[in-house]
A and B are shown apart, each in its own frame.
Chain A
Amino acid sequence: MTVCIACTPTASHPAPTRWAGDLFPGRMTHSPVGNPDLATLVELLDDEHVRTMLAATSAEPLSASALSERCGVSTSAVYRRLDRLVDAGLLDERTRPRSDGHHDTVYVAVVERFELVVDDGDIDWTVDRTDRDVADELTRLWGKF
Chain B
Amino acid sequence: MLAPLVDVLAGAAATGSAVVGLYIGYQAYRGLRRNDEPAMRYLATGMILLFGVTYSVAVVSQGLIAFRIVSISLQNVFRLLVRLLQLVGLSLIAYSLHLAAGRNVPTR
Contacts and interface: CB of A to CB of B under 8 A. Distances in A.
A139 interface: yes
Given A142-B40, A143-B37, A145-B97, A135 B31 contact: yes
Interface in A126-145: 133-136, 138-140, 142-145
A136 B104 contact: no
Interface residues of B, number: 26
A101 B105 CA distance: 8
| Interface residues of chain B: helix, strand, loop or mixed (majority) | helix
Contact of B39 (A103, A133, A135, A142): A142
A60 B34 contact: yes
Contacts of B103: 97, 99, 101, 143
B31 A136 contact: yes
B35 A20 contact: no
A138 B101 contact: no
Interface string A93-131: 011110101010000000000000000000000000000
Contacts, number: 75
- Dominant secondary structure of chain A at its interface with chain B: mixed
A143 B96 CA distance: 9
Give the one of B29, B35, B36 with max A CB within 10 A: B35
A135 B34 contact: yes
B71 interface: no
Interface string B24-52: 10011111111111111001000000000
Contact of B105 (A20, A59, A143): A143
Contacts of A59: 34
Given A96-B35, A135-B28, A136-B35, A142 B43 contact: yes
Interface of B: 24, 27-40, 43, 96-97, 100-101, 103-108
